[in-house]
Every structure is written in structure tokens, then in C-alpha cells.
Amino acid sequence: MEMIAFLINGTFVFATALIFAALGGLITERAGVINLGLEGFMVSGAFTAGVVTYYAEQAGMAGAAPWIGFLAAPIFTLLFALLHAIASVRFKANQVISGIVVNMLAASSTFFFVKLLFDGAAETPLLHNVFSKISIPVLSELPFVGVAFFSLYPVTYIAIALAIIIYFVMYRTPLGLRLRAVGEHPGSADTAGVRVNRLRFLAVLAGGMIASLGGATVTLTMNSSFTFHTISGQGFIALAAVIFGRWHPIGAFGAALFFGVAQAVKDQIQVVEAAKHIPNEIFYLLPYVLTLVVLIFTSKKSSSPAALGVPYEPGKR
């Protein structure tokens, strides 16, 4: 029983970064722009969080340092999001290639900057102040649920709140309606007075910024530093979560949690004797295979935004 509580707790820890990145990807894709750059946005966020938190620490802002790093991540990542938006929305470049460029550029430039800032070191100095789990008074003392749900990193609660907010905005506000319309049928949206490409542009920026929070989460909760393998594949798992969750905020949230379980199980199962013979990689493999399986069984009724990947050109049918 206790193990399950720890498992749930671990799931949230691993899933938090995925939730942020998946929500970022979701916004972009619902607006009709493919977002393969999630990995790059996460790298950029992880890098910014690592560097800014370090300098904030040096400046003597102990407890506030990780928060400054966390909030700096989306600001710096705006740069990469702008690249993706300019190329794929303004100049109608191939959105897949544009996303790959973001990944390549984010990876290379952040490592370059790390070496530049820290005298050729391959990783940022270890941070002394990172997020620590907060226990919500009273609730965290409850048996089982206390450990499982009420003793988590603060960013986890932010991620959960963000998922709810995005769901609300997307399905209960005019802005959300426009966003979905732009991704489903940009021509009609245009006729109805929505500025399609402007909204898509902003959606790419917002998506990139939110995804960067996922990268920052990895640095500030699990890793305490940024190096070349801090982000390796989480961005793609997040994209899988968007698809697995069928482009719905709550679905993507659930999928991110589900993939988080796979990671948490990997950590917990080491304790079980019989599991020692299973290569760890099975658990890494799981999210991708499951996503494929789900796609195979649900593909006939596609739920992706209808205009996903198609640049919008006014006047063209």
C-alpha cells in the first residue's frame, strides 16, 4: 500500500515536466502548427533554469533562486519559439523541418553557451537551491493520500492548475473557440473575422514558452544541473502524450501522467527481486510502443486538428 503511494508520488514527479511540455505542444497543434520542437523548447528551458538559478544563487537569492530560474525559462525560450513561428507561420516553411531546426539549434547553442559561461565545462555547476517537495498542512498527514497527492513539488501543482486553465480557456472562452477553429478550418475562421496567422503565431509562442517550463522542471527537481543529456527524449514523449491524449488538454494531461507511471515504476521496481532481470529499457520503450498501439486501434476515427500541418494562405481553397 505504501509502495503504491510512493509510486503515485513518483508518477507526479516524473509527469510534471511531461505535462508542461504536452500542454505547450497541445496549444500549438490545436492551432494547426505541428510542434516537433518540443524537445528543443525543453532543452532551452532546462538550460535557462540551470544558468539563471546558478547566477541568482551567486547573487545571494537562496530560496527565490529556483523560482527566478523557472520564470526565466519561458522568456529565453521565446527566442526559439519565435524562430519556429516565423519560419512555419510567417514564411510557411515545412513545419516538421522547422521543428527539427529548433531542436538542433537549441541543443547546439545551449551547450555552446554552457561551455562559454563555465570555462569549457560540459555542465552547469550543481545547484544548491532547487525546488523541494512541499507538504500541504493537515492534508499531507492523511494516510496514503497524504504521501501520494499532498507532498509534491510546487511546480506539480502549477502544472495541474495549468492543465485545468488551458482546458477552460480552450473550451469555454471565445479565444479558445478561435484557437480551435484556426486549427480545424482556418478558412472559415478567417471568414468569421479571426486573424488566422496572427493567432497561430501567438499559439506557437505560447506553446514554446509553456513547454520550456517542462525543461526547467527537469533541471530544478530531478537533476540540479544542466548537461547534454538532461533532456533526452522527454520532448518526444510529450508529443506522444499529445497524440495519445487525442489533442485534448485533459487527455494530454492523463497521457503525461500515464507515461510518468512507466518512469516511476522503473524506479520502484528495482526493489522487487524478480524484476532485476528485466532490462530497464523496457520501461523507456513503453510510452512509444503504447502510443503506436493506441494509434493503430484508433486511427480510423482521426482526432487530430483537421488543418494540422497546412500553412494558411488567405484566398486559397
Partner 1 sequence: MAKLKSLMNVFRQESIWISIISIFLGLLIGAIVMLIGGYEPILAYQSMIEKIVGNPYDIGETIRSIMPLILTGLAVAVAFRGGMFNIGVEGQIVMGSIGALFVGYFLDLPPVLHAIVAIVVGAIFGGLWGMLVAWLKTSRGINEVVTCIMLNWSALYISHIVVRMFMMEEGTARSKLIQDSASIEIPFLIQWFDGARIHWGFIITMLLLVGYSFYMNKTKWGYELRAVGSSKHAAHYAGISVNKTIHRTFFISGMMGGLVGTFEILGVFKYLAIAPTTSGLGFDGIAVALLGMNTAIGILLAAALFGALMYGSQGMSFGADVPGEVIRMVVSIIIFFAAAPGMLRVLFKLRRSTRRKEVSARGNDSVSH
Choices 12-20, 60-68, 170-178, 295-303; region in contact with partner 1 by CB under 8 A: 295-303
Q: Check residue 311 for interaction with partner 1 (CB under 8 A).
A: yes
Residue count, binding to partner 1 (CB under 8 A):
54
Q: Check residue 224 for interaction with partner 1 (CB under 8 A).
A: no
Judged by CB under 8 A, the residue of 206, 218, 243, 261 near partner 1 is 243
Nearer CB in complex with partner 1: 33/170: 33
Q: Check residue 315 for interaction with partner 1 (CB under 8 A).
A: no
Using CB under 8 A as the criterion, what x/- string covers residues 262-291 for binding partner 1? -----------------x-xx-xx--xx-x
Judged by CB under 8 A, the residue of 59, 112, 161, 165 near partner 1 is 112
From the CB of 313, what's the least distance to partner 1, in Å?
A: 11
As a whole number of angstroms, the distance between CA 230 and CA 215 comes to: 9
Q: Check residue 251 for interaction with partner 1 (CB under 8 A).
A: no
Residues that bind partner 1 (CB under 8 A): 34, 36, 83, 86-87, 90-98, 100-101, 103-105, 107-109, 111-112, 115-116, 120, 229, 232-233, 236, 239-240, 243, 279, 281-282, 284-285, 288-289, 291-292, 295-296, 299-300, 302, 304, 306, 308-311
